[in-house]
C-alpha cells in the first residue's frame, strides 16, 4: 500500500460536493436549515437528491447536500474499501481506514464551514426502526452525516470510534436486507427534509400524515379524494361535500382507525388508551375491538361454537 497523498484545500475530497441546483433567490433563508453529508462508493445512486422537494429545498438554500465518493480516501491502485472478515464467513467487510479518513475530513470541512452538532446516521438492518418520530427528531438536528455501507457492513470499530465524538444513530428502514444503504439515505432524507420549515408548500400538510406526532402518532392516514366528484361510477363520501368541518374531522378519524385496524392492528394494540376519546372507543367497538383488563385495546374474542 502506498503512502497517502497529502491533501490541500483545493484537492480535498470533502471540499467537493455533488453538483448544486440553481442558486437560491433573494427571498431564500440566509443559512440552510440542515447540512447533509453522505459518503458512498456509488455517488450516482444519490442523484435523486437533485429532484422533487429535496431538490427544491436545495435550490432555495434550505438544505445543504454534500455527496462524497468514499474511494477518494483509498490509496492503493485498486481503491480497495473492503476485506475479508475476521473469524471467517462469507462476504466482505468495509475497512476502517477509508471510513476514518473520510469522516475526519468531512467533519473538519463542515466545522470550518460553520456547521455544528453533527449526527452520524448509519443505515443498517440491525439498527433501530426508522419511524416518523425519529424523522422529527433528526429534522431538528443541524447536520446529518450518512454512512451507507455495502457488502456485510462497516467494521464495528468505526462506529465505536465516532460514538466517542458525536451521536451515532444506527437506523433500519425495515425488516429486510438491501444490497447497500444508499436507498435508506434517500428514504430518510426525504422523510426528514419535508419536515423542515418552508419545504412543504402548506406547513400544515404533514400534521395529518400517518404516524405524525399528536393525534395521528399511532394511526395510518385514511383515504383521500379530489375532483371530479364522480369517476367511473365511483363517488365521494357525502360527508366530504357537506362543508361541516366537525363531521369531516370525525369521518377522517374513523377512517384512520378503520384502516389501522385493517392493515396495522399492532399499532392499535400498543397505543396508549388515553389517546382514544369516547367516539374513538365507539368506533373501535364497531370494528370488533375491546378494552382488556390492562386498559389496552385488542380484537374481541370470537364466539366459540360448542
Whether 175 is catalytic: no
Whether 229 is catalytic: no
- For residues 38 and 48, is the Cβ–Cβ distance under 8 A? no
**Per annotation, catalytic residue among 35, 58, 194, 253:** 194
Reported residue count of the chain is: 306
Return the number of other C-beta atoms located less than 10 Å from residue 273's C-beta: 13
Query: How far is it, in rounded angstroms, from Cα 155 to Cα 161?
Result: 11
**Per annotation, catalytic residue among 125, 142, 265, 299:** 125
Phi first, then psi: what are they for 67, rounded to 5°? Answer: -110, 125
Return the number of other C-beta atoms located less than 10 Å from residue 276's C-beta: 18
Whether 125 is catalytic: yes
In DSSP notation, 275-300 reads G--HHHHHHHHHTTEEE-TTS-EEEP
**Per annotation, catalytic residue among 83, 97, 137, 152:** 152
Query: How far is it, in rounded angstroms, from Cα 246 to Cα 282?
Result: 17
Query: How far is it, in rounded angstroms, from Cα 275 to Cα 203?
Result: 24
Whether 294 is catalytic: no
The beta-carbon contacts of 263-272 under 8 Å, at least 24 apart in sequence, are 263/220, 264/220, 265/299, 267/218, 267/219, 267/220, 268/218, 268/297, 269/296, 269/297, 269/298, 270/218, 270/296, 271/217, 271/218, 271/296, 271/297
Residue linked to cell 432555495 = 60
First to last CA, the chain: 77
3-class secondary-structure state, position 26:
coil
Active site residue ranges: 125, 152, 194, 209
Amino acid at each position: 500500500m502506498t503512502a497517502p497523498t497529502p491533501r490541500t484545500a483545493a484537492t480535498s475530497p470533502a471540499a467537493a460536493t455533488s453538483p448544486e441546483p440553481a442558486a437560491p433567490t433573494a427571498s431564500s433563508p440566509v443559512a440552510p436549515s440542515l447540512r447533509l453529508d453522505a459518503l458512498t462508493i456509488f455517488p450516482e445512486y444519490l442523484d435523486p437528491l437533485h429532484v422533487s422537494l429535496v431538490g427544491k429545498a436545495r435550490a432555495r438554500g434550505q438544505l445543504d447536500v454534500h455527496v462524497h465518493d468514499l474511494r477518494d480516501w483509498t490509496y492503493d491502485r485498486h481503491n480497495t474499501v473492503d476485506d475479508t472478515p475476521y473469524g471467517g464467513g462469507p462476504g466482505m467487510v468495509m475497512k476502517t481506514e477509508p471510513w476514518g479518513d473520510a469522516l475526519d475530513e468531512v467533519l473538519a470541512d463542515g466545522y470550518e464551514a460553520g456547521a455544528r452538532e453533527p449526527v452520524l446516521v448509519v443505515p443498517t438492518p440491525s439498527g433501530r426502526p426508522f419511524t416518523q418520530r425519529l424523522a422529527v427528531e433528526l429534522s431538528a438536528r443541524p447536520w446529518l452525516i450518512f454512512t451507507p455501507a455495502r457488502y456485510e457492513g462497516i467494521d464495528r470499530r468505526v462506529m465505536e470510534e465516532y460514538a466517542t465524538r458525536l451521536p451515532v444513530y444506527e437506523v433500519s428502514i425495515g425488516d429486510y436486507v438491501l444490497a447497500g444503504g444508499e436507498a435508506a439515505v434517500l428514504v430518510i432524507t426525504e422523510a426528514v427534509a419535508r419536515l423542515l420549515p418552508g419545504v412543504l408548500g402548506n406547513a400544515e400538510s404533514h400534521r395529518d400524515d400517518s404516524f405524525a406526532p399528536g393525534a395521528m402518532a399511532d394511526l395510518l392516514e385514511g383515504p383521500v379524494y379530489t375532483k371530479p366528484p364522480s369517476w367511473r361510477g365511483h363517488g365521494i363520501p357525502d360527508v366530504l361535500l357537506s362543508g361541516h368541518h366537525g363531521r369531516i374531522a370525525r369521518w377522517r378519524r374513523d377512517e384512520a382507525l378503520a384502516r389501522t385496524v385493517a392493515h396495522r392492528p399492532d399499532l392499535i394494540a400498543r397505543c396508549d388508551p388515553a389517546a382514544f376519546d369516547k367516539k374513538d372507543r365507539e368506533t373501535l367497538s364497531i370494528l370488533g375491538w375491546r378494552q382488556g383488563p390492562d386498559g389496552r385495546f385488542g380484537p374481541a374474542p370470537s364466539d366459540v361454537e360448542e
